[in-house]
């Protein structure tokens, strides 16, 4: 019997080989070069053994596989860059071959002459799903946690192991494009409905059902290898194709503005691949995959949205010498929208939580928020009544601070007022044990000031959530001047428990995220004052890659809040700290016109009753003389948005507020959706090149103002030819330089 590290092969009396994938030392199976080498040998063993009638492929872990190990792609790219410096033509040939390694291994499996069935016992993503699609049969466990997806587009690449060729030949081109360009998860039932899997069975019957498919005569030839094969939904050149392809191209352009080469490559692969025989289609896919791997977008997105994200979620910045703590009780002060959201995610993580407000009625309203969120999940089939009751049983709503006794962590989320916060801090601390950690959810008030109200400033920290708490995946953990490592470790443990990505930020006004977001919105105010039509402002921002226009974002956060922040800034830092044009605009909107944003149904946008959609307030064009749209450089508008945010992030790094480029990048994408195709704010600068970035910023500074002035740090980096990922080397791993 062959000896494998990652697989076991057991053949039963019926001649069915059960291949179990169980990588030692890993919580999830992923494809590495070693695993693929072994699987190559497994395929040879199955194909060459006359006693084996067919093979069932499954996982020995709780979930099937997350697909390829992305660090393997970075190793491939490292070799490419090293060889490219010596011989570009040889490097490109080598990359092309490596880009097709997985694809042709899966092709070897499906043409091995023996029937294969993939028995999917958990989440099956990326290359693992592509392997399953190469199998002749697919059986999936009927469980809520099971998800099938080809999510590669979310990290800048695309399904390059046969996915763009097999999925459309199974589901039809329209469904295939929808699945792959969105990276959406499919439930077992949905996957069966669209033709990706054959059977959905209880988990206990998974292997039995897979064996039965083979024993019942499963053919070892794929449909697309049959002479009479017809693509579901019709060929490219058909009436259906004529309706699909022009619309698909237009939709992709509308959704991505051409910023995502990986998404565009999916359309090209499917379109071209369906015009040729299957193996030629695989070669086309291989060609595009090798091209996309070389793009700046693929490198930056895969680094930030996969490698860095995983490292931060695993606690890359957590103090190593502090033992992990499992939280047994959490207190939340303030049952408003934020406090209620924090309560919900805490209880959802299975942690008992005490929710406190000024009276019982207010506290109960905060708890009711969790009930409503669970009701929404129940309606969508993603939760049960029993799960709702269990979650609500973990929440104690009360006005009594004594209920905090025994809490490991208390989070205040009361009104953004220093005096109010001082009162609740002191009330809570009267009942806390000496080891308890106190956290503030403040978004504007420095932690060092709030910590002065605490008897134990070493145990005082900031945990800044984003709204809505249940949907936003990021938390800023803010260290005050006296915050100790134990407080930081507990905050990180809590973030991990509630499945949020933490970034560590040192104390300053606005912390990190809000400083960048305010720059984004303020640049829009400048554009309005210059007479740039509001629709051009919003459209240019979205074309630059931002998910929400800056005027729409101001409406969501409230115009009167922007007014309060500006006035407080003037009080604290003087009149020169706020552009008078911005103050005049916001005062005019709030005081003269009573336009406060979405909350009162009128802001920069009008909000008619549903189902009508919001639209920009026509009165905006009356506030300032309007420039002729044809005389405005849209590319410059796009650059202004990206540069003004990135420059603020560079200042934050210079000031030591954020010290790890991974946190700056991941935080910018998760918190406010900074153009994900760039890999985040600092990856954007690195991708442009610090020298070129500084030159362009200085040009913008001459035309539009001091907000575009490069900080000294950037000037030094430009002079030395440094990138952020070279100057601020993250603690783990070697990162690939841009091509």
Q: Which positions are annotated as active-site residues?
A: 464
Longest CA–CA separation in the chain, Å? 86
What separation in angstroms does the CA of 83 have from each of 87, 96, 101, 384?
6, 13, 18, 55
What CA–CA distance (Å, rounded) separates 283 from 63?
Answer: 31
141 and 174 in contact (C-beta within 8 Å)? Answer: no
Q: Which phi and psi angles does 60 have, rounded to 5°?
A: -90, 5
Extract the tokens encoding 73: 């792609």
Task: Please state the separation of Cα 184 from the chain's center in Å.
Answer: 13
- For residue 611, cis peptide bond before it (omega within 30 degrees of 0): yes
**CA dist list (Å): 241 to 105, 193, 276, 469:** 31, 21, 15, 43
DSSP 65: B
Three-state DSSP class for residue 478: strand
Backbone angles phi, psi at 465, to 5 degrees: -90, 160
The two three-digit tokens of residue 382, written as one number: 């993603």
Alpha helices in 52-172 (DSSP H): 70-86, 88-99, 101-110, 126-134, 163-171
> How far, CA to CA in Å, does 374 sit from each of 345, 392, 489?
11, 9, 30
Angle 370-373-377 from CA coordinates, rounded to 5°: 135
Strands 199-201 and 353-356: unpaired
Encode 105-134: b = buried (16+ Cβ within 10 Å), e = exposed.
bbbebbbbebbbbbbbbbbbbbbbbbbbbb
Q: Which of 462, 467, 511, 476 is nearest to 317 (CA)?
A: 476
DSSP 669-704: HHHH---GGGTSHHHHHHHH-HHHHHHHHHHHHHHH
Query: Cβ(214)–Cβ(56) under 8 Å?
Result: yes
* Of 478, 452, 454, residue with least CA distance to 465: 478
Within 8 A by CB and 6+ apart from 615, the residues are: 605, 606, 608
Judge contact between 616 and 551, C-beta under 8 A: yes
Long-range contacts of 40-44 (CB under 8 A, 24+ apart): 40/105, 40/108, 41/2, 41/4, 42/2, 42/4, 42/7, 42/9, 43/105, 43/108, 43/109, 43/112
Cis peptide before 468 (omega within 30 of 0): yes
- Closest C-alpha among 443, 494, 498 to residue 467: 443
Query: Residue 377 has which token pair?
Result: 């999940």
Token pair recorded at residue 579: 């552009």
| Cross-strand partners of 506 | 479
What are φ and ψ of residue 501, in 5° steps? -90, 120
Yes or no: say if 430 and 401 are a contact pair by the CB < 8 Å rule: yes
Question: Measured at the alpha carbon of residue 584, what is the angle toward residues 580 and 586, in degrees to the nearest 5?
Answer: 115
Rounded CA Rg of the chain: 28
Beta-carbon count within 10 A of 400 CB: 12
What CA–CA distance (Å, rounded) separates 279 from 108? 11
């Amino acid at each position: 019997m062959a000896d494998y590290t990652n697989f076991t092969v057991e053949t039963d009396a019926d001649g069915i080989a059960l291949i179990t994938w169980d990588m030692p030392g890993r919580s999830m199976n992923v494809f590495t070069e070693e695993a693929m080498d072994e699987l190559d040998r497994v395929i040879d063993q199955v194909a060459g053994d006359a006693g084996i009638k067919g093979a069932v492929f499954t996982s020995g872990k709780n979930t099937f596989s997350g697909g390829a190990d992305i660090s393997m792609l970075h190793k491939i790219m490292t070799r490419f860059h090293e060889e490219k410096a010596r011989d570009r033509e040889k490097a490109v040939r080598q990359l092309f071959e490596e880009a097709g390694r997985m694809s042709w291994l899966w092709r070897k499996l499906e043409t091995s002459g023996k029937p294969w069935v993939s028995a999917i016992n958990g989440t099956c993503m990326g290359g693992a799903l592509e392997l399953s699609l190469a199998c002749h049969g697919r059986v999936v466990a009927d469980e809520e946690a099971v998800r099938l997806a080809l999510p590669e587009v979310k990290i800048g690449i695309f399904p390059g192991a046969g996915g763009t060729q097999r999925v459309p030949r199974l589901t039809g081109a329209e469904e295939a494009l929808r699945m792959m360009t969105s990276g959406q998860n499919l439930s077992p039932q949905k996957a069966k409905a669209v033709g990706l899997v054959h059977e959905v069975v209880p988990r206990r019957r998974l292997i039995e059902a897979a064996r039965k498919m083979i024993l019942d005569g499963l053919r070892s030839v794929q449909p697309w290898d049959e002479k009479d094969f017809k693509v579901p939904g019709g060929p490219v050149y058909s009436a259906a194709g004529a309706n699909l392809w022009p619309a698909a191209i237009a939709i992709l352009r509308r959704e991505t503005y051409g910023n995502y080469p990986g998404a565009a490559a999916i359309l090209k692969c499917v379109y071209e691949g369906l015009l040729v025989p299957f193996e030629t289609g695989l070669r086309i896919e291989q060609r595009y995959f090798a091209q996309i791997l070389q793009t700046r977008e693929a490198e930056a997105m895969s680094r930030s949205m996969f490698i860095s994200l995983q490292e931060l979620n695993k606690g890359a910045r957590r103090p190593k010498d502090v033992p992990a703590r499992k939280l047994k009780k959490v207190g939340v002060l303030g049952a408003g929208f934020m406090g209620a959201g924090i309560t919900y995610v805490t209880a959802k993580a299975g942690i008992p939580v005490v929710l406190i407000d000024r009276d019982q009625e207010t506290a109960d309203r905060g708890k009711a928020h969790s009930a409503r969120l669970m009701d929404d999940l129940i309606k969508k089939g993603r939760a049960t009544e029993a799960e709702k009751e269990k979650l609500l049983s973990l929440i104690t709503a009360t006005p009594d601070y004594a209920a905090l006794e025994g809490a490991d962590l208390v989070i205040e989320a009361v009104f953004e007022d220093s005096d109010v916060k001082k009162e609740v801090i002191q009330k809570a601390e009267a009942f806390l044990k000496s080891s308890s950690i106190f956290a503030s959810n403040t978004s504007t008030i420095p932690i060092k000031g709030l910590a002065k109200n605490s008897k134990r400033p070493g145990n005082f920290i900031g945990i800044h959530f984003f709204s809505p708490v249940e949907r936003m995946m990021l938390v800023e953990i803010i260290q005050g001047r006296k915050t100790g490592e134990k407080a930081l470790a507990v905050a990180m443990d809590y973030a991990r428990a509630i499945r949020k990505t933490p970034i560590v930020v040192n104390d300053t006004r606005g912390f990190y995220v809000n400083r960048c977001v305010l720059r984004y919105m303020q640049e829009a105010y400048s554009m309005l004052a210059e007479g740039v039509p509001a629709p051009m402002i919003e459209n240019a921002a979205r074309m630059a890659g931002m998910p929400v226009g800056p005027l729409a974002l101001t409406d969501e956060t409230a115009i009167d809040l922007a007014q309060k922040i500006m006035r407080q800034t003037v009080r604290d830092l003087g009149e020169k700290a706020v552009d008078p044009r911005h103050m005049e605009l916001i005062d005019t909107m709030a005081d003269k016109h009573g336009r406060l944003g979405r909350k009162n149904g009128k802001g920069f946008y009008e909000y008619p009753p549903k189902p009508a959609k919001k639209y920009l307030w026509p009165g905006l064009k009356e506030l300032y003389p309007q420039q002729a749209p044809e005389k405005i450089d849209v590319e410059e508008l796009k650059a202004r948005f990206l540069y003004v945010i990135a420059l603020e992030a560079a200042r934050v790094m210079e000031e030591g507020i954020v010290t790890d480029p991974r946190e700056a990048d991941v935080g910018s994408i998760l918190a406010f959706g900074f153009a994900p195709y760039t890999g985040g704010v600092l990856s954007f600068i690195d991708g442009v090149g610090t020298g070129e970035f500084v030159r362009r910023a200085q040009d913008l500074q001459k035309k539009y103002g001091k907000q575009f002035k490069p900080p000294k740090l950037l000037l030094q980096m430009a002079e030395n030819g440094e990138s952020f990922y070279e100057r601020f080397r993250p603690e783990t791993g070697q990162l690939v330089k841009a091509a």
